[in-house]
Amino acid sequence: MPARLIRHLAGVLVLAGLVLTSAVARADDVLVFAAASLKTALDAVADDWRAQTGKGLTISYAGSSQLARQIEQGAPADIVISASGDWMDYLQSAELVSAESRTDLVGNQLVLVAQGADRAKVELNASLDLAGLLGDERLAMALVDAVPAGIYGKQALENLGLWDAAAPKVAQADNVRAALALVAVGEAPYGIVYASDAVSDSRVSVIGVFPEASHDPIVYPAARVAGSKNSDAGLFLEALSSPSASAHFRAQEFSVFSRQGDG
């Protein structure tokens, strides 16, 4: 399937999912806009919160750039969790999120994945023959100029001197979970995703971890959307830093930042 068509289909699916999520949300639900890479862990956190409080919660997942643009256009979210400090800065500078509510929630690692289990490992450094590894195949990545996972991935490849070899072979997807799906179903044999994405799908295996020094730190800030009137939004924002939530994040390979009072 051509890379352009793959990207188009992935985008259609994401937008359809956002529309469907908004349609089924109850008026009193807390509406959370969250980076797609958080899905497995955040779904578990949300299930716990619903069970413990009996309150409603709806989550829309997409790329951080899409979420920021939707909030900018007036989408009625209560909380946003981004995979990019830059996109949260963008929202904050436009006074679209509450600065005092902003907190750095979790961190992540950038990895190279391959389809299948127990694939041979590679060293992600300047000596890697990436063009030889890919051959005539594609490398799945999130949008390299807009979505954090794609931006980090391009940055890492550039810093390792591998981008020129990779660029003509990149199949871009609208978010990192869509890039992961391309590898999982065999549309692309390799992809660059987060460690948390890789652990969520048994159809792929991690074959290399990018050096932390090769890209900017991967940090997920969370904040309350300015103008949110839902009194439960603050409660869920606090719950994101609870011990049980931290356990769910760690189980999906996120690093959890210590906070005052954590001990």
Tens of pLDDT along 49-77?
999 999 999 999 998 999 999 999 999 99
pLDDT at position 132, please?
93
pLDDT at position 260, please?
45
Long-range contacts of 245-251 (CB under 8 A, 24+ apart): 245/45, 245/48, 248/41, 248/42, 248/44, 248/45, 248/48, 249/41, 249/45, 249/105, 249/106, 251/41, 251/44
Q: Rounded to an integer, what distance in angstroms lies between the CA atom of residue 189 and that of residue 120?
A: 13
pLDDT at position 259, please?
61
Q: How many CB atoms lie within 10 A of CB 26?
A: 10
pLDDT at position 245, please?
97
**Do 183 and 113 form a contact (C-beta atoms < 8 A)?**
yes
pLDDT at position 224, please?
97
pLDDT at position 258, please?
72
**What pTM did the predictor assign?**
0.83
Q: Which residues of the chain have pLDDT under 70?
A: 1-27, 259-263
What domains sit in the chain, N to C, each tagged with a CATH number?
A: 3-107+218-256 (3.40.190.10), 110-214 (3.40.190.10)
What are the pLDDT digits (tens) for 204-223?
Answer: 999 999 999 999 999 999 99
